Structure 1
């Protein structure tokens, strides 16, 4: 077990992703600990996993938190290539550089990337998979609500308070913070003085994974990937989620009968940040169960 005083700050790292895109990340914990790579959801950053990174470091694990292409400190693709295929190639490129079998933890968009990466020719680089509030058969209305939020306010916000109002409307189950300064992690102030989300608007410019009729097409691909899973799998659902229903969970568990499952009663689609301690405990227990013992 690591000393709790160790690894209290991450090391900044970067990787060369698909097409030369720079993928930014944070590295927490001992380099020789079990490797756990975190992939955030659409419109988020690696900062969403900060508390998890620290907790895994204290448990003797090596957590690598990544910004997806077009998000946070990672490069925006000059050609606007934000397909799932490109994100899978980014993940595999990172795992090549790390050169160690990894557990992959993915929320929403990141979970879909992780699931599809298990069909890649180099899938042996993934030793376990944690899917955070994402399944092959999501609820259409919930998916559309997420996409509508990501597509909204292309003209930016006049103030952080205005951005906080937008977030509060999107996440009504959370208490609106009194001080919106924390939103600066997810916003960029441009020369015009307005605040804009950190992600590349080109992500929402064309046909998107999971939108409209494409939901059914991608469901078939994702269910095919799920059927092939032989590695350890943990599905985490927020009980308040409007994206993953109990029916969606049942359909997934029928495809992957060996999967572990946990539900977080106080969480919605943003399960990891809604109830971080409970979520992180589930991930630590899952990894420990696979590697055997108590970490370091």
Structure 2
């Protein structure tokens, strides 16, 4: 595996890990909001071992990718980053697996590209064009909490456990060092630009009707994008998710009747500090059915 620096749509530094055979079908792994590329570590290794060329990216403002000086974290901008990286990879119609924010980025990129046939497969991991408002608020509230960071990694682990009590506690907090940065004051803060969530959170709290109207417009746009996909589409829902419901699944399948769907028992919505390995089996099975790898 090697770490590669790309340039996003505006020239911003985007960092990714590339693994697997160069001649393998390209699979891009996009993390959720507040996560980074290490959330896909186990899944990426499994896919690379099966002969795929795996590219796990840090979104702008996350992980080792640059923070935008203008705090531009709009979905269209993130979509432009993805399209720019695909161009730099020289990948012909890569598959894209997106968790939460990453899945929205994939559908937005398809919309920005004018619904051209740019992907060989799309996997949405616990995300749909329309999500439950209460679950969305809960995620945003979690990300806005603890702006002064944590005194210890154990304290951060406790915050994650409080958000997702169904998640098995980690055997070690060492993995949290990948998603937190220790400042000069010794405190640990999340490894993302606070401005990424601050502006969204402010809009959500200050103008609920406006926020809801914006969410609906986005959902309509992304449903249209999903329905226009020529590539195979899979929605994976964590059965414990409070973001993706039976209703939001039905809305996606009405807009995109070709979509396949699977529940993952015991999995909830992922946040910072979580890995996405609970979804690996569903991802590898779907890609194995639709893409021919080299291994």
TM-score by length of 2: 0.91
- The equivalent position to 1:105 in structure 2, one of 97, 113, 117, is 97
Coordinate RMSD, CA, aligned: 2.0
Counterpart residue number, 2:160: 167
- The equivalent position to 2:107 in structure 1, one of 107, 112, 115, is 115
CA drift of 1:275 comes to 7.0
CA drift of 1:64 comes to 0.4
Structure with higher RCO (Cα < 8 A, 6+ apart): 2
Structure 1 gaps of 5+ residues are 1-9
Task: Give the match's secondary structure for 2:51.
Answer: coil
Counterpart residue number, 2:5: 14
Question: Would you say 1:226 and 2:234 are equivalent positions?
Answer: no
Counterpart residue number, 1:143: 136
Counterpart residue number, 1:266: 266
Question: Would you say 1:85 and 2:86 are equivalent positions?
Answer: no
Between 243-252 and 207-216, the greater mean CA deviation after superposition: 207-216
Deviations 1:143-171 (A, max 9, x none): 10001011111111122122111111111
CA drift of 1:256 comes to 0.9
Question: Would you say 1:61 and 2:52 are equivalent positions?
Answer: yes
Task: Give the match's secondary structure for 1:23.
Answer: strand
Query: What aligned pairs does 1:116-265 form with structure 2 within 5 A after superposition?
Result: 116-121=108-113, 123-177=116-170, 179-207=172-200, 211=204, 212-213=211-212, 214-265=214-265
CA contact (8 A) 2:27 2:96 kept: yes
CA drift of 1:283 comes to 1.8
Counterpart residue number, 1:276: 277
Q: 1:274/1:239 Cα in 2 relative to 1: closer, same or farther (>3 Å)?
A: farther
Counterpart residue number, 1:7: none
CA contact (8 A) 1:266 1:274 kept: no
Task: Give the match's secondary structure for 1:126.
Answer: coil
- The aligned length equals 284
CA drift of 1:180 comes to 2.2
Structure 2 gaps of 5+ residues are 205-210
CA contact (8 A) 1:133 1:244 kept: yes
Between 68-77 and 180-189, the greater mean CA deviation after superposition: 180-189
Q: 1:275/1:97 Cα in 2 relative to 1: closer, same or farther (>3 Å)?
A: closer
CA contact (8 A) 1:143 1:210 kept: no
